[in-house]
Structure 1
Amino acid sequence: MKEYKTAKGWAIFIYIAAPIMIGFLFMPILLLLIPSWRTNETADFFWFAVPISLILIAYMIAGIADTIVSKVTLTEQSIEYKNILFSRSIQLNEIKGFRIDDKYLCIEPKTSGVKRIKISKYFGNLEDLIDFLDSKYHDLDELEAEERYQKIMENNSFGFSTSERQSQFQTARRSAKILNWVAGIIAAWTFFYPHPYLLAIIAAILCPIAAIVLLRLFNGLIHLEEKKNSPHPSVFLAFFIPSMALFLRAMLDLNVYNFEKLWWLLPLMVLPLTAVVLLGSREFDWRKGQSILMALVVLGITSAYGFGAILCTNCALDQSNAAEFHAQILGKDRSTGKTTTYHLSLEPLDFDYPLDEAQVDKVTYQRVAISDTVRVLFFEGRWGIPWLEVRP
């Protein structure tokens, strides 16, 4: 018989961290019980903080208890799993196989009425148990992936012979991999250093289109969604990452002061593009909720893509004559986070658009000071979406 418990490192961490957290969470309760300790706490604070503290304290205590109690026992007849809530057991001759993901080892039974055992990877010496299972049972993920691969090899729509289907499959994998890598590089270029600007924007616009072309070109062998245990190569990254880069560039770079025309153009681009992706791919089964969820994801991505593509090209391709105004800087502001943006507060302009703040690049932000006068240039936009630019 062998026993597996929470790894020593994690157990020590829980035994130290949980009591510290309990002490911290006990403070609102102490403030409620000892009025002399209070400062400016209101009744609303206690109505909110005390129940939350009690819930979290109970959770911490349960975590400590679970660390003490939880164990996996391997005997000659069965595998047993016990925690503070329940215990489960599967006879060795009733085990169908196992699955491993990033967080859990799952042992699946042959009988549908028997519940599977799900073991956290925070258990110590779990490799020994995995080696035991691997020596006697199938890795169900590998088995499922192999079955799906064999279905591809038997599908005549991917070739008339097995060798032809294998060749087509390898070509599809190679093409998807190359496109994903190229799209990742272009997305990084577009987001981090878009110079020359127009070329970076055009490259980012072409990547999702190339992904759609591959979906159609390989007749269902390449999928958009990357599913677990699916041998089908995926171009999701090539579709998603450049779209997000375009969206972020539009949000970070451009001062659009009238979006009315955009809201007319966006559906004209997004809806046909979404339809081409969803209806042109064989991977979606509309009887399943997962496909409907993926359709919503695709709609969100194409919306971001359309938003970025329309606005970026509207400004980058604009050749209209600018209407120039001058404004005094009333204030400066820098917003930091995953990205840093720079803003200038400006005096009101004698213009139809009530401008009081504009986003600028880092160079302009550093060159100007409060009370300086800057040039504000208003452009018509290549697609009729008016925008402005602030220059020293």
Structure 2
Amino acid sequence: MLPRQGTDAQEYRTAKIARILIYVLIPPLTLLSLVMPFLLMQVKNPSLVVSSGFGVLGVGLAVFFIYGLIETVKGLIILNAREITQIGAFKIKTLLLQEIAGYRISAYYTHVFPKGPSLPTLKIGNTTERYRELQQWLAAQYPDLDQVDTDRAIAFILEDHNLGRTPEERAKALTQAKTTALILNIAGGVAGAWAIFYLPPYEWVIGACLLVPILATIALWRFPHTLRIDQKSNSGYPSLLIATLIPCLGLLIRALFDYQLPSYAPMWPLVGTAATGAALALAIGSRQFLFRACSRVSVALTIALLALLYGYGATSTINVVYDTAEGATFRTKVLGKHYTSGRNNNRTYYLKVSPWGPVTSAEDVRVSHDFYRQTQEGQAITIMLLPGRLGVPWFLVVE
């Protein structure tokens, strides 16, 4: 609550739990960052360049940790009836209450903006004690600038006579576009997440990931003045980015982790054709925004990204998932085995096998963990080669 004239000022520091964690963790982390380069240099015996790099990295981390500690110790927000002051590690910022234009809320901060460009902007972290109280005070006294921008953008959209002759018709058209975007974004998010986490039924999930971006493109053609393919905060225009990006990522992940090709050369012309077609379809649906200087770059980059992802993901999955032809089997010998570790200790397992079928040299093939454990060097295994729905051969290890 805003202090009244003559009352004590309100003070807000870093929340107690956050302070305790920082006080406990920062000193040992700082020490570790300074010592670790020397330990790494002793173990690895690196070159002078690598040693210097480790040293710079360690000092940089130590400086960062020390700055965070000082910021926590000194950090303070003081709010009284006249002004709000933010005390940081090396700087003090003050705004008179009448100099505040409004605020914006992001994931981790609340930004307090001044009315003039020469005045400071305050950045209040969400680890500040009684953070919600500060936000409520700001909301009661000043406008949410994000909402102001959105309202202004919607008012501009509703003046577009391409949406209808009357304000009611234009509002109805915008509502229809928002509803369409909501439905497609939910469908795309669910389908993409389903594919990413490899949940059954597999063919249906792949089909959904192929279909939803096509439906989103059709929606862009249906609502060219209201739906946009990229995401822009406070623009007022509903976005179809989730409906297109998440399914494309799902297709890409399944293509990278599920399918193996003896050669990728036959795939690239098909990928290029699919990506070009997707880019043209999205560009036509987004033509209204491509012709606007303020959104041209963002829309063009989004279209290029989506076209590449869909071109590769769709081509790969259609070629494999919907291949119903008979395969040819080949016997090959295991020459070695190894695995690679990724994030969260996720491992990918490989067997190095002798030449087989169209493969003329010893190469790695990806297998499951169980098959990797059961198979020994020198053992013969079976590989099935299939022609592919689109004519691009692919193979799998018969386990």
**Cα pair distance change 1:253/1:31, threshold 3 Å:** closer
What percentage of residue pairs aligned between the two structures are identical? 26
CA distance in 2, matches of 1:229, 1:200: 33
Find the residue that maps to 1:359 and give its secondary structure. strand
In the alignment, the residues of structure 1 paired with residue 249 and residue 148 of structure 2 have an alpha-carbon distance, to the nearest angstrom, of 35
| Matched AA of 1:246 | L
SS across alignment from 2:116: coil
Pick one of 85, 91, 97 that aligns with 1:92: 97
Q: State the TM-score, normalized to the length of structure 1.
A: 0.86
Letter in 2 for 1:305: Y
| Matched residue, 1:175 | 180
Amino acid aligned to 2:93: R
| Contact 1:244/1:301 (<8 A) preserved | no
Aligned partners of 1:62, 1:129: CA distance in 2, in Å? 25
Give the Cα separation in 2 of the matches to 1:101 and 1:350. 56
Which residue identity does 2:10 align to in structure 1? Answer: K
Give the total of aligned pairs: 386
- Distance across 2 between alignment mates of 1:326 and 1:40: 42
- Per-residue Cα deviation, 1:343-377 (whole angstroms, up to 9, x for no partner): 33322336454253222456765776554433323
Alignment partners' CA distance in 2, 1:39 and 1:326: 44
Q: Does 1:305 align with 2:310?
A: yes
2:10 counterpart residue number = 2
- Mapped partners of 1:313, 1:39: distance in 2: 49
The answer to whether the 8 A contact 1:257-1:353 is kept is no
Matches within 5 A, 1:91-110: 91-110=96-115
Partner of 1:354: 361
Match of 1:287 in 2: 293
Compared CA separation, residues 80 and 278, structure 1 to 2 (3 A): farther
TM-score normalised according to structure 2 size: 0.84
Which of residues 163, 169, 176 in structure 2 aligns to 1:164?
Answer: 169
Counterpart contact for 1:184–1:241, Cα < 8 Å = yes
Do the aligned partners of 1:108 and 1:117 also contact (CA within 8 Å) in 2?
A: yes
User: Do the aligned partners of residues 145 and 328 (structure 1) sit closer, same or farther apart at CA in structure 2, a change above 3 Å counting?
Assistant: same
Cα gap change, 1:43 to 1:114, in 2 (>3 Å): same
Query: How many angstroms apart in 2 are the aligned matches of 1:259 and 1:141?
Result: 47
Aligned to 1:271: 276
Structure-1 residue corresponding to 2:388 = 381
Bigger mean CA deviation after superposition, 218-227 or 357-366: 357-366
Cα deviation, residue 285, structure 1: 5.8
Counterpart of 1:23? 31
Distance in 2 separating the partners of 1:40 and 1:355? 32
Structure 1 stretch displaced more, 61-70 or 232-241: 61-70
Residues 1:56 and 1:335: Cα distance change in structure 2 (over 3 Å)? closer
**Farther-moved stretch of structure 1 (380-389 vs 105-114):** 380-389
Structure 2 counterparts to residues 88-237 of structure 1, below 5 A = 88-193=93-198, 197-237=202-242
Query: What SS does the corresponding residue of 2:272 show, helix, strand or coil?
Result: helix
- For the residues of structure 1 that align with 2:349 and 2:69, how far apart are their CA atoms? 47
CA contact (8 A) 1:4 1:72 kept: yes
Partner of 1:35: none
1:181-231 CA-partner distances (Å, limit 9, x unpaired): 222332244344465544433332111111111111112212222322233
The alpha-carbon distance between structure 1 residues 271 and 83, as it changes in their structure 2 partners (threshold 3 A), is same
CA RMSD of aligned residues (A): 3.0
The separation in 1 between residues aligned to 2:138 and 2:200, in whole angstroms, is 54
The aligned amino acid for 1:268 is T
For 1:374, the aligned partner's letter is: I
Counterpart position of 1:56:
61
Segments of 5+ residues of structure 1 without an aligned counterpart are 33-37
1:256 and 2:261 matched:
yes
